[in-house]
Structure 1
Amino acid sequence: MSASNGTIRIGLVGIGKIARDQHLPVIGASPDYTLTAVASREGRYEGVPNYRTLAEMLAGQGDLDAVALCQPPQVRFSAALAAIEAGRHVFLEKPPGATLAEVGILIEAARARGVSLFASWHSRYAPGVEPARHWLSGRRIRSVAIAWMEDVRHWHPNQAWIWQAGGMGVFDPGINALSIATHILPPFFLTGATLSVPENRQAPIAADLHFTDADGTAIEAVFDWRQTGPQTWDIRVDTEDGLLVLSKGGSVLTIDGSEQPLPPEAEYRGLYDRFAALVRSGTSDVDLNPLIHVADAFLRGERRTVEAFTD
């Protein structure tokens, strides 16, 4: 489905920080979309019909082509399934779900209904990621070190859901690093992990992860939500041909200390361009590899209780 002017009529569900910071500005500036409605139990957005729930929005907006779901992952499955069954294309914020099995059901439902399903990984669209992938292709990798450390109080103030079961804790940002790593590196797997969980929370505040690949490459990752001051989002890849470093979340790329020229940051514009292409081609894009690594960390990692966390 598409509007008569050729744009995709989209509804947005969940009017929180990420929706206001990224989704709404990009949708508003894109020639591919017309924002038709929003649904949120608390937030409102002027200029379009507002609904409290997705069900109300689907009932009230029969011309919707697609929905973008920005709620916490614990409640996203039922919304996604309802939208798919109503014949709407679905854009999933990361992570695509709270469990792997539920996303598998969504994949099959979208296939059966003939609609597009997109599991978005915004960090893959950082300007340095694709050049890094191209440079690493075919090169022998010696080791990889990932450091993803930030201040949870700055990025997730008073967001209780991230500390609950299914909220993933520090893996909420850490999965961004894993989305880049799974895109630029050969397949790898977890060999061990330590998850640091505050005594008053269900999800970890830090994680030390150890991976390897078929060649025995050492791949180490440190995620930590307790960092103040400058934030760290770095991936260092040592190869036989030199050292590649992606820093600032993939927005800066250096090779042997030489910074490479890159286009401006446009992660969410890249996501919405990709979703438009999927909708118009009638295809889906659901890569579960980043979420698989998170699930493996919870499955195989040792839990270590640390001091309580308060906002």
Structure 2
Amino acid sequence: MTPICLVGIGKIAVDQHVPAIDGSADWTLAATVSRAGSVDGVPAYSDFDQMLAERPDIPVISLCLPPVPRYEYAAKAIAAGRHVMLEKPPGATLAEVQALETMAQTAGVSLFATWHSRMARGVAAAKSFLADKTVTAGKITWKEDVRRWHPGQDWVFDPGGMGVFDPGINALSILTEVLPAPVHLQSATLSFPENRQTPIAADLRFSGGISGAFDWRQEGPQTWDITLQAGDDLVELQEGGNRCMINGQEATLSELDEYPALYARMAGLIKNSSSDVDLSPMIHVADAMTLGQRNIVAAFAF
């Protein structure tokens, strides 16, 4: 098994990355780097440079810390000859991720800009069904409770935190994966709490008759749905893409859950000496920030 170091031991690392690594035949968690978190039985570092210097036996780094500091860590890892996985979104800006891609190519290492929702178990079936069709309309409804999923994490509302697009980019990653032809953003309305720097809700309209409603204020049941119409055919992705209905019938699901599938993909990229850095979901978010009409709404506090 290949040793891997997990950087940023927060909620997403504990809930998803650690179990995925532990359950994989490809990987062994050999070290962690975090200011506060750790994993029982795994050597823990608080200094990334120290870990790189002391552990040349670890060839792969998985970065789970927030997007703003991620570029610096990724650049150091690549310079040290390590393969790198980037939690979504892969960075704070498009340009910095493009720079990392160039660095990785020069260094001869693999770089994987992961989009975990693309690995949701119903996504492959939707993509396969739509491959030879023309999508004529579609709707994204992505509404959840930020207090439940990011409790007390003020960074999500700071510049670079992306606000409601932190979860919303998951929907956009699915959309860009399953559509047989690309779309582009035409207009957006963004709702900013009066005390915050990033939006808490957004309404987007794309070419091709596709719209999206995103909200971080939904209590109770959470909604992560995408519907796509292709002529007389209807594809419904529910539960964040983990359920797929095609013309009212349940589709066959992929075998692996999202994060195990990501780590299997990373193992394949390294084996084939290749990278996967698709920025199309992030481009839609950047376009929303460029085109979006800004509305001020009530202050938000955790």
TM-score by length of 2: 0.98
How far apart in 2 are the matches of 1:287 and 1:261? 26
Counterpart among 11, 34, 48 of residue 5 in structure 2: 11
Task: Give the AA of the match of 2:257.
Answer: A
Corresponding residue of 1:221: 212
Instruction: Give unpaired runs (5+ residues) of structure 2.
Output: none
Corresponding residue of 1:114: 108
How far apart in 2 are the matches of 1:105 and 1:265? 31
How far apart in 2 are the matches of 1:10 and 1:39? 11
Corresponding residue of 1:80: 74
Corresponding residue of 1:236: 227
Counterpart among 175, 189, 213 of residue 194 in structure 1: 189
How far apart in 1 are the matches of 2:88 and 2:41? 27
How far apart in 2 are the matches of 1:261 and 1:67? 33
Q: Deviations over 1:6-51 (max 9, x none)?
A: x221100000000001111111111111211000001121212110
Corresponding residue of 1:307: 298
> Per the alignment, in what secondary structure is the counterpart of residue 226 of structure 1?
coil
Q: How far does residue 256 in structure 1 lie from its aligned partner after superposition?
A: 2.2
Task: Give the AA of the match of 1:17.
Answer: K
Counterpart among 49, 58, 62 of residue 55 in structure 1: 49
> Per the alignment, in what secondary structure is the counterpart of residue 243 of structure 1?
strand
How far apart in 2 are the matches of 1:66 and 1:159? 27
Identity of aligned residues (%): 54
How far apart in 1 are the matches of 2:134 and 2:103? 40
Counterpart among 83, 92, 102 of residue 89 in structure 1: 83
Corresponding residue of 1:297: 288
How far apart in 1 are the matches of 2:89 and 2:119? 15
The answer to whether the 8 Å contact 2:185/2:287 transfers is yes
The answer to whether the 8 Å contact 1:118/1:286 transfers is yes
Corresponding residue of 2:127: 133
Counterpart among 205, 210, 222 of residue 205 in structure 2: 210
Q: How far does residue 140 in structure 1 lie from its aligned partner after superposition?
A: 2.5
Task: Give the AA of the match of 2:252.
Answer: P
Q: How far does residue 306 in structure 1 lie from its aligned partner after superposition?
A: 0.4
Q: How far does residue 263 in structure 1 lie from its aligned partner after superposition?
A: 4.3
The answer to whether the 8 Å contact 1:251/1:265 transfers is no
The answer to whether the 8 Å contact 1:139/1:241 transfers is no
> Per the alignment, in what secondary structure is the counterpart of residue 12 of structure 1?
strand
The answer to whether the 8 Å contact 1:119/1:287 transfers is yes
Q: Deviations over 1:40-65 (max 9, x none)?
A: 00112121211002112112212111
Q: How far does residue 265 in structure 1 lie from its aligned partner after superposition?
A: 5.6
> Per the alignment, in what secondary structure is the counterpart of residue 196 of structure 1?
strand
Task: Give the AA of the match of 2:114.
Answer: S
Q: How far does residue 280 in structure 1 lie from its aligned partner after superposition?
A: 1.4
How far apart in 1 are the matches of 2:268 and 2:251? 29
Q: Deviations over 1:177-236 (max 9, x none)?
A: 000000111101010001100000001000000100xxxx21100100011111110100
The size of the alignment, in residue pairs, is: 301
Task: Give the AA of the match of 2:177.
Answer: H
How far apart in 1 are the matches of 2:118 and 2:104? 23
Matched, 1:46 2:40: yes
Corresponding residue of 1:4: none
> Per the alignment, in what secondary structure is the counterpart of residue 76 of structure 1?
helix
Matched, 1:251 2:239: no
